[in-house]
Amino acid sequence: MSAQLNPPQREAIRYLDGPCLVLAGAGSGKTRVITHKIAWLVEECGLSPANIAAITFTNKAAREMQERVAGLMGGRAPKGLTLCTFHALGVRIIRQEAQHCGLKPQFSILDAADTVQIVSDVAKSADKAIARQMQWQISSWKNAMLTPEQAAQLADNEIAAAAAAAYAEYERTLRAYQAVDFDDLIGLPVRLFEDNAEVRERWQNRLRYLLIDEYQDTNRAQYRLLRQLSGVRGAFTAVGDDDQAIYAWRGADVENLRLLQQDYPKLKVVKLEQNYRSSARILGAANTLIANNEKLFEKRLWSEHGPGDQITVTACRDAEHEAETVAMKISAHRFQNRTRFADYAVLYRGNHQARVIEQQLRNHKIPYVISGGQSFFDKAEIRDLIAWLRLLVNEDDDLAFIRAITTPRRGVGAATLEAIGAYAGQRHVSLFAAAFEQGVAEHLNTRQLELVHEFAAYINRLQQRAAREPAGQVLEDLLVAIRYEAWLFEHLDPREAESKWSNVRDFVDWLARKGDEDDKTLLELTQTIALISMLDKEDPDFDGVQLATLHASKGLEFGHVFMVGVEEGLLPHQSSIDEDKIEEERRLMYVGVTRAQRSLNVLWCERRKSGKEWRRCEASRFIEEMGDDVLSAARKSNEPVSKEDGRARAAGLMAIFERG
Ligand SMILES: Nc1ncnc2c1ncn2[C@@H]1O[C@H](COP(=O)(O)OP(=O)(O)OP(=O)(O)O)[C@@H](O)[C@H]1O
Ligand SMILES: [Mg+2]
């Protein structure tokens, strides 16, 4: 293993005397330090894998790391090793310590749509946009571990004041539903560990060594979780790069890097300076770009790779032309170089940019996978099914109850639900429990009462089956029982119904496979679903161009990268320009540039549609900031590629390829 590690990497891996921070630039092998340290701890130090936890930032990163560890350790990651996101670790802790958190182990995890709904109910605000802002505000307080009382004192505008007023009631509602939100997944364990020494020590003994990737993007609550778990031993290795901190808007705090030094005076800091990822031109552009930011920590980065391909900058007429250019360049490049589609990535600032790219890739018959896009699990039909599953595992989940009883409509009307809701509110019980109580009968007519009882009894029967039978089978039968397919076709146009039904089939297959593979119960599956941000094409052999937001691309690497929409107003984003937060945008650009191994293509549009209006655009300042080399490339290629040229070129190449 030592052959593929440089001396500072080896030093960081073998250091076990206390906390260790690897602070280094992109592509310098920080994540590699983590994977090799796992192997070192198990193989050389005899630590049980069950005592090790490696924390990553996204599910995709966790899966990648799993593969890398497996590659190092004889084909499979050792059994018992914890390798997951902060949030997934939180779920595990809460599930096992549920009674200490005032929850049952079958608690529900609510996603953004649900929590906005609760905020809007609590604040009696019908305006979804305002409810969303309030939810955002509450979430940032929770990330900073502030109580409703503290929040009330901090609120300095109307929305914040309304949010502060709703905060406590919001929390009560979650608990009444036996539910938690994403922030609770970190916050509850932290509170638990702070208040309960016995539980804390139990977890400290279980997770004896912690490894944290992308440390620069942890928020305050996550930092406290790390502190609690690692205790006085401070047995952890964190790796990070302040130049890649791109989650300040979500409460991440680069100050956590300084805190580490302050809270652990004996902290060992290791710097890595060799970049193994990118060609020299790409690395040079990245270094020049990021030099425009105020430095927190001085870092140098060099590479032994040759200069590599010239970075290209292409001005396009509009987003459609841009997408078409990307598609044609990928086709042409691929035929010339005999690469795989999976070697290419298209990165963009916002999800809304993906649609036109998808369209053009489809036109050109280029397969692709999209990550960090609209979540598969956010689709209405999937949320319907998940509501059913949630209700099966947690009958107190009132949101799930309402969604399930109305999907498909089974004759239970809004008035009935309101009556049950009012009754449940007086009695302080869940809707489900209320449905079985004698008292509720007074408020409903016989027919409605029958329908509600029928529904509740059906849920009970299904619950019993779910305890014994595979998750996939239970869901399969549920679909038949509620006539979901027929219902879709009854109220939607056939094409839409078709596409929704095919999503449903994908979901059932996925659930069945997951259930078998990981030997997971329906409860465990349902709880992890909330954490998965997409139905990943889990097949690593699938050959498709990778589409991702810049945020979602963090930590990954691709042979050839296309960055689109590199314009003023989009990257840097207009709101950041207005609020003078250019540095975070520059780091985002830096993250994008440093994903590329062999070639980097930057594209921008001369005009872009916003709403119904066309807006003229200028090339992003970041293009100029990448230095003279890139700038001269930009000047050279400033005349937009003509459609016909590109198409003819691609067609010509294709013809040659097919012949030969
Ligand atoms: N000592 C080494 N010898 C050869 N290749 C290496 C070495 N260290 C890392 N690499 C390779 O360099 C690439 C970048 O490594 P890695 O992903 O660990 O960097 P990173 O610092 O985590 O990057 P990022 O900041 O983007 O997360 C990977 O392909 C990795 O396998
Ligand atoms: Mg990394």
Q: What is the per-residue pLDDT across 99-129, written as a single tens digit (0 to 9) for each?
A: 898 888 888 888 777 888 889 888 887 788 8
Report whether residue 503 contacts ligand 1, using a CB cutoff of 6 Å: no
Report whether residue 553 contacts ligand 1, using a CB cutoff of 6 Å: no
Judge if ipTM > 0.95: yes
Whether residue 657 has pLDDT greater than 70? no
Query: Which has the minimum average pLDDT: 222-231, 321-330, 426-435, 650-659?
Result: 650-659
Q: Which residues contact 70 (CB under 8 A, 6 or more apart)?
A: 76, 77
Relative to the alpha carbon of 26, which ligand is closest?
Answer: 1
Strands (E) in 199-267, as ranges, are 209-212, 236-240
Mean per-residue pLDDT, 288-298: 85
pLDDT band at residue 519 using 50, 70 and 90 as cut-offs: low
CA distance 273 to 54: 23
Report whether residue 28 contacts ligand 1, using a CB cutoff of 6 Å: yes
> Any idea which architecture 108-177 has in CATH?
Orthogonal Bundle (1.10)
CA distance 153 to 96: 35
CB 659 within 8 A of CB 341: no
Comparison of pLDDT for 517 and 487, the residue scoring more: 487
Residue nearest to atom 1 of ligand 1 (CA): 5
Cα 19–chain centre separation: 27
Tens digits of per-residue pLDDT, 122-166?
Answer: 888 778 888 889 999 999 999 888 999 999 999 888 889 999 999
- The rounded Å distance from CA 31 to ligand 2 centre is 4
CB 86 within 8 A of CB 72: no
In eight-state DSSP terms, residue 441 is G
Residue nearest to atom 27 of ligand 1 (CA): 555
Q: Cite the annotated binding site for ATP by residue number.
A: 24-31, 277
pLDDT band at residue 251 using 50, 70 and 90 as cut-offs: low
Residue nearest to atom 29 of ligand 1 (CA): 277
Report whether residue 27 contacts ligand 1, using a CB cutoff of 6 Å: yes
pLDDT exceeding 70 applies to what percent of the chain?
92
Whether residue 646 has pLDDT greater than 50? no
Q: Which residues contact 517 (CB under 8 A, 6 or more apart)?
A: none
Report whether residue 240 contacts ligand 1, using a CB cutoff of 6 Å: no
Q: Where are the domains of the chain?
A: 7-94+186-272, 108-177, 302-367+543-633, 377-536
Report whether residue 2 contacts ligand 1, using a CB cutoff of 6 Å: no
> Relative to the CA of 244, which ligand 1 atom is closest?
25
Whether residue 638 has pLDDT greater than 60? no
- The rounded Å distance from CA 31 to ligand 1 centre is 7
pLDDT at 658: 41
pLDDT at 540: 62
CA distance 83 to 65: 8
Tens digits of per-residue pLDDT, 479-508?
Answer: 998 899 998 888 788 888 888 898 898 888
Query: What Å distances lie between residue 190 and 79, 110, 305, 639, CA to CA?
Result: 26, 19, 44, 56
CATH class in words for 7-94+186-272? alpha beta
Mean per-residue pLDDT, 510-535: 71
CA distance 566 to 569: 9
Query: Which has the minimum average pLDDT: 130-139, 433-442, 630-639?
Result: 630-639
Residue 604: strand pairing partners? 315
**Helix H or strand E encompassing 633:** helix 628-636
Whether residue 83 has pLDDT greater than 90? yes
CA distance 552 to 565: 16
pLDDT at 233: 85
CA distance 533 to 644: 39
**Helix H or strand E encompassing 97:** none
Place of tokens 């929590």: 115
CA distance 38 to 210: 10
CA distance 318 to 297: 39
pLDDT at 3: 54
Whether residue 642 has pLDDT greater than 60? no
Catalytic residues: 30-31, 213-214, 244, 595
**pTM of the full structure:** 0.82
pLDDT band at residue 470 using 50, 70 and 90 as cut-offs: confident
pLDDT at 328: 96
CA distance 467 to 457: 16
Comparison of pLDDT for 225 and 442, the residue scoring more: 225
Report whether residue 9 contacts ligand 1, using a CB cutoff of 6 Å: yes
Q: Dmax of the chain from CA atoms? A: 81
- The rounded Å distance from CA 496 to ligand 1 centre is 44
pLDDT band at residue 414 using 50, 70 and 90 as cut-offs: confident
Report whether residue 69 contacts ligand 1, using a CB cutoff of 6 Å: no
Tens digits of per-residue pLDDT, 578-588?
Answer: 988 899 999 99
CB 367 within 8 A of CB 545: yes
In eight-state DSSP terms, residue 396 is T
CB 137 within 8 A of CB 250: no
pLDDT at 155: 86
pLDDT exceeding 90 applies to what percent of the chain?
47
Instruction: Provide the CATH number for the domain formed by 377-536 in this structure.
Output: 1.10.486.10
Pairing of strands 558-563, 344-348: parallel
- The rounded Å distance from CA 24 to ligand 2 centre is 10
Enter the tokens of residue 298. 């001085």
Other Cβ atoms less than 10 A from the Cβ of 550: the count is: 23
- The rounded Å distance from CA 165 to ligand 1 centre is 47
Q: Cite the annotated binding site by residue number.
A: 24-31, 277
How confident is the prediction for the chain on average, in pLDDT? Answer: 87
pLDDT at 16: 95
- The rounded Å distance from CA 617 to ligand 1 centre is 36
Nearby residues for ligand 2 (ion, Cβ within 5 Å): 30-31, 555
Residue nearest to atom 15 of ligand 1 (CA): 29
The fold of 302-367+543-633 is: Rossmann fold (3.40.50)
Burial class (CB in 10 A: 0-12, 13-18, 19+), 648: exposed
Of the residues 31, 244, 303, which should be mutated to test ligand 1's pocket, given the most ligand atoms within 8 Å of the CB? 31
pLDDT at 55: 96
Mean per-residue pLDDT, 67-86: 90
CB 598 within 8 A of CB 589: no
**Do the first three CATH levels of 108-177 and 302-367+543-633 match, i.e. the same topology?**
no
pLDDT at 375: 62
